Chain A
Amino acid sequence: MPRFTVNGVEHDLDIEPDMPLLWALRDELGMTGTKFGCGIAACGACTVHVNGNAIRSCVTPVSAVEGQEVTTIEGLATAVAGTNTSSTGPDLSAVQQAWIDHQVPQCGYCQSGMIMAVSSLLAQNPNPTDAEIDANITNVCRCGSYPRVRRAIRALATA
């Protein structure tokens, strides 16, 4: 009976331990901000954070996150702001705001995963080189938002 927290809320789900985290989030908890794209960790649409690190939830069984802290796009702004803010939390993280400022999303379907991947990268490496961006952000965006993703990351890095 896997137990883990999602965006600060503890869940104790009566589900199979090998169920991918993606489907526990979407179909069991009704948290649909995390997207299904490929099911084999090839596109990154399902990216969430486990203890702050970006992982692909479509191939991560819930047993692997037992006792750990999962953050999804819905909880990103609060998680980034830390625990000392007001109970309502901020509306948007700096990455999310940059995504609006640079008008990054088009269809937007991949952007939950893209934002989670970029947030994790910038938390660990606030000023990544182009090569580091290329190596770390391997998410697929079928609309081709890549030039704007890079522009937004650059703006965040120099901010």
Chain B
Amino acid sequence: MSNRKQIQLSHGGGGEETNSLIHDLFYHHFSNDVLLAAEDAAVLEVKNKIAFTTDSFTVSPIFFNGGNIGKLAIAGTVNDLAMMGAKPLYLSSSFMIEEGFPFDDLETIVKAMAEELKHSGAKIVCGDTKVVPKGAVDQIFINTSGIGEIEKEGISANNLQEGDVIIVSGDVGRHGAAILMEREGLGISGNLQSDCATLWPAVQALIDANVTISAMRDATRGGLSAVLNEWAEQSAVCLEIKEASIPVDEAVQGICELFGFEAFDFANEGTCILAVPPEDAQIAIDALQKIDVTKKATIIGQVSMKKEGKVILHSAYGSSRYLDLPKGELLPRIC
């Protein structure tokens, strides 16, 4: 390879340099039969109904405590499939790289992607690389699309029923808070890590335990507030949440106090919200708690018909308020 230090425009030119980048880096780390066939398109075999999703990743900074843009690009797309009850199978992966981007950083990112794929068993089967002149993108953007085989049907944001129990799979707001910490370079000690993680093992555990899932969504941008409000509106129900039961890490709460944010509005990248019938709630909790990334799963509320389309937060001391959708810009580019 002509230059192992920096990515140059020639690496995206389609010639020799592009070839060596593909072979030495992408094929090396993402190696699988479909990819190595090196055809114009991947040929896939799928027997059942499939779920299909796409997402672009532009986080700044690209390396953060608890992950990097590569890990995020895999976990994000895999989780979107998992949330529909689909086993993640095949992913595409496209890179837009700014000229001059360090090769070592790209390798770190690609390795993180390969590592994260192991948690779901999904494969990268096709991809693309573009290198653009300095300033045309901020370091590196990644797009991943994915398909998965539906193993559990009927999960939908329109599906919540009166009496359904609301479960959160872990403490909320860690990704948003971790990015904010990194970006502002606050002189705060401590180890606040993004929750960035693959949720498929947790979903598989729920499927194996035969839990009926009315709705399930990973609480990414807009956080817990956004998911709950979307559900309340789409299913025309009221979600009554006990504020004290929502797990929030001390460091996340501290950041919120400093900046005047709400942990419920912060993004998560490995935390999901579920609605299940009351008789399945304990089974779901037991199943989730056996999986490492969801070991803090807990019940936070229940569906009622008190005020259709609204989320009501009950305090531990007897007052209540609406939990509104986050408004305006919270943080630029967190995922």
**A and B assemble together:** no
